[in-house]
Amino acid sequence: MRVLLVYPQFPKTFWSYEKVLELVDRKVLLPPLGLVTVAAILPQEWEFKLVDQNIRPVQVEEWQWADLVILSAMIVQKDDMQDLIVRAHNYGKPVLVGGPYPTALPEEMRAAGADFLVLDEGEITLPLFVEAWKKGERSGEYRSEGVKPDVTSTPIPRFDLLDFSAYDSMSIQFSRGCPFQCEFCDIIVLYGRKPRTKTPEQLIKELNYLYELGWRRSIFMVDDNFIGNKRNVKLLLPVLQKWQEERNYPFAFTTEASVDLAQDQELLDMMVACRFEAVFLGIETPDADSLSLTKKYQNTRDSLSDAVDQITAKGIRVMAGFIIGFDNEAPGAGQRIVEFVEKTGIPSAMFGMLQALPGTALWFRLEKEGRLLNNNAGGNQTHLMNFVPTRPIEQIAQEYVDAFTHLYEPHVYLKRIYRYYLKMNAPSLNMKFTMPDLIDLRALATVIWRQGVKRSTRWLFWQNIWGILRHNPAVLTNYLLSCAHNEHFLYYRDIVKQQIEFQLSAGQKEEVAV
């Protein structure tokens, strides 16, 4: 049995980081962890090939080779997913679909002609498919009917199927689910509010496998809320710290967490000791009313800016997500977000207009209120909202574009990151010096050439370097990393502006035509 696993292409998003990836000679930020986990759950006597369309398209011989094509995607990948179903059928191959997009919108997959819909979490539904396939069934739909699998029995993902040279980071997962109840969040719909974790030994086996396969770059712990189950995280971290120490800290970790991380100094210290270097926080908005309305109560308990400062002071770089367009939001929300980002100095502030994802509490509320417009939501920052907001869409969109443009204006950006890195502490891990590889050295030279010679901000760039060398030299690498990110943001803010303005003018033309 020959299985071709294909990961559909992403549109360009805030997170696609093309310009940064070019610098380090990589094609994609992260690999398809879901598909390599699927390969590990299926019978191991089957043969597997994996093609990530974000690296290269599927070749004719690969389509011909396959007995079955498996696709997994998020909603944001829907266009390529639908195209791949058609292409697989053109080669006469049956198609199995799974992952967040088919699980949220199975009707779209049925309409696209997928043969097998293996929905929810694969640990439960893939064995049902295998049983049916072995009996000769050639179509079917499998759901877990509300049962959540115990992830302690999830096998080690088949990382060997990945082309390591194409990815900037590897992904691993410790937990699924989150205890909070944010109205717009689809994680709690997909994975529930009771976080389920792997065992420390299980995670270490995954790291050992990556290490044996030769991986030596960073690792993204893809849990949507790494600290959802703090007790189990605190059992993991000492084991992880020991593993890292014994190997001279081969991996730098990044993850996502809720802002209450800042309240737990012990947990922060433990993460730092394991070499967690960055964390993504869902701050969403500094407007307390909007946070309460969207049921993000955990962000209303303490000062959000203090939380950012506390995490930064430990030496963990904060990235944060912001949303504009909540119900009853007062005009000026975009400017308030800018003020918050400027005050805290957060270098990477991801920003988007609120989208209602299928199946979320927000989706059902808006459906009841007759305000949903379409299914085209899914994490892309260049889309207008997919529902009717409580203030004019033109006003929200303009605030969004203005805020995005301002935050990534090169002078504003360099001044902000300078302030940020002056207040960041550099953790002192007992790491032996290792020579950076040639690709990283070339990337560094390119950043210095572009930022320090070519750009109009070159004087500011050098002034900042001088200031950092004098006051906080240990964070120089972080500063240069954020300068490299600016290469992407500069290019991406123009895409946001063009696409939002295009959609607004197209909408206005439609209204005139009506």
Residues 6+ apart with CB under 8 A from 360: 183, 184, 185, 186, 189
Least Å distance, CB 453 to ligand SF4, is 41
Q: Does the protein bind ligand SF4 through residue 361 (CB under 6 A)? A: no
End-to-end CA distance of the chain: 54
- Which C-beta is closer to ligand SF4: that of 182 or that of 350? 182
CB of 320 to ligand SF4, least distance (A): 12
Stretch that binds ligand SF4, among 47-55, 77-85, 175-183, 344-352 (CB under 6 A): 175-183
- Please give the structure tokens belonging to residue 185: 């969040």
In this complex, which beta carbon is closest to ligand SF4, that of residue 197 or of residue 258? Answer: 258
Beta strands per DSSP E along 315-451:
317-324, 348-353
Burial tier of 37 (Cβ tally within 10 Å: 0-12, 13-18, 19+): buried
224 near ligand SF4, rule: CB under 6 A: yes
Least spacing, CB of residue 191 vs ligand SF4, in Å: 9
Residue among 188 and 219 whose Cβ is closer to ligand SF4 = 188
**Which tokens is 400 given?**
């969004």
| CB of 193 vs ligand SF4, minimal distance in Å | 8
Shortest Å distance, C-beta 230 to ligand SF4 = 13
Residues between 177 and 206 with contacts to ligand SF4, criterion CB under 6 A: 178, 180, 182, 185, 187-188
Please report, as residue ranges, which positions from 12 to 51 form the binding site for ligand SF4 (by CB under 6 A): none
Q: Quick one: 182 or 341, whose CB is closer to ligand SF4?
A: 182
Pairing mode of beta strands 2-7, 47-52: parallel
Cβ closest to ligand SF4, residue 53 vs residue 258:
258
Given the complex with ligand SF4, which of 88 and 187 has the nearer CB atom? 187
Q: How many positions of this chain bind ligand SF4 (CB under 6 A)?
A: 10
3-state secondary structure of 247: coil
CA 186 to chain centre: 14
Residue in 125, 225, 355, 457 binding ligand SF4, rule: CB under 6 A: 225
Least Cβ distance, residue 421 to ligand SF4 (angstroms):
27
Residue with Cβ nearer ligand SF4 (260 or 309)? 260
Neighbours of 463 (CB within 10 A): 14
Give, in order, the Cα–Cα distances in Å from 32 to each of 7, 117, 446: 7, 19, 29
Using CA of residue 147, residue 151, residue 156, residue 157, what is the dihedral sign? positive
d(CA 507, CA 510): 5
Name which of 156 and 311 has its Cβ closer to ligand SF4.
Answer: 311
Nearer CB in complex with ligand SF4: 295/343: 295
- 280 to 319, contacts with ligand SF4 by CB under 6 A? 282
Q: Based on CB atoms, which residue is closest to ligand SF4, 142 or 226?
A: 226
Q: Which stretch binds ligand SF4 (CB under 6 A): 174-182, 213-221, 233-241, 469-477?
A: 174-182
Task: Give the shortest CB-211-to-ligand SF4 separation in angstroms.
Answer: 29
CA distance 467 to 419: 10
The Cα 82–Cα 501 span in angstroms is 27
CB 300 within 8 Å of CB 288: yes
Site for ligand SF4 in 392-451 (CB under 6 A): none
Q: How far apart are CA 204 and CA 243, in angstroms?
A: 8
> 240-269: which residues touch ligand SF4 (CB under 6 A)?
258
Report if residue 229 touches ligand SF4, rule: CB under 6 A. no
Specify the residue, 187 or 274, whose C-beta has the smaller distance to ligand SF4.
187
Between CA 130 and CA 116 the distance in angstroms is 11
**Minimum gap (Å) between residue 6 Cβ and ligand SF4:** 27
Closest approach, Cβ 495 to ligand SF4, in A, equals 25
Long-range Cβ contact pairs of 148-153 (< 8 A, separation 24 or more): 148/121, 148/176, 148/177, 148/191, 148/192, 148/194, 148/196, 149/121, 149/123, 149/124, 149/196, 150/123, 150/196, 151/123, 151/175, 151/176, 151/196, 151/197, 151/198, 152/197, 152/198, 152/199, 152/202, 153/123
| Nearest distance in Å: CB 188, ligand SF4 | 5
Taking the complex as a whole, how short is the minimal distance between the CB of residue 254 and ligand SF4, in angstroms? Answer: 16
Residue 178 vs 500, nearer CB to ligand SF4: 178
Report the SS3 class of residue 338: helix
Query: Residue 182 Cβ, how far from ligand SF4 at the closest point, in Å?
Result: 3
Residues in 316-345 that interact with ligand SF4 by CB under 6 A? none
Residue 233's identity, in one-letter code, is: V
**How far, in Å, CA of 128 to CA of 136, rounded?**
13
265 in helix, strand or coil? helix
**Which residues here bind ligand SF4, judged by CB under 6 A?**
178, 180, 182, 185, 187-188, 224-225, 258, 282
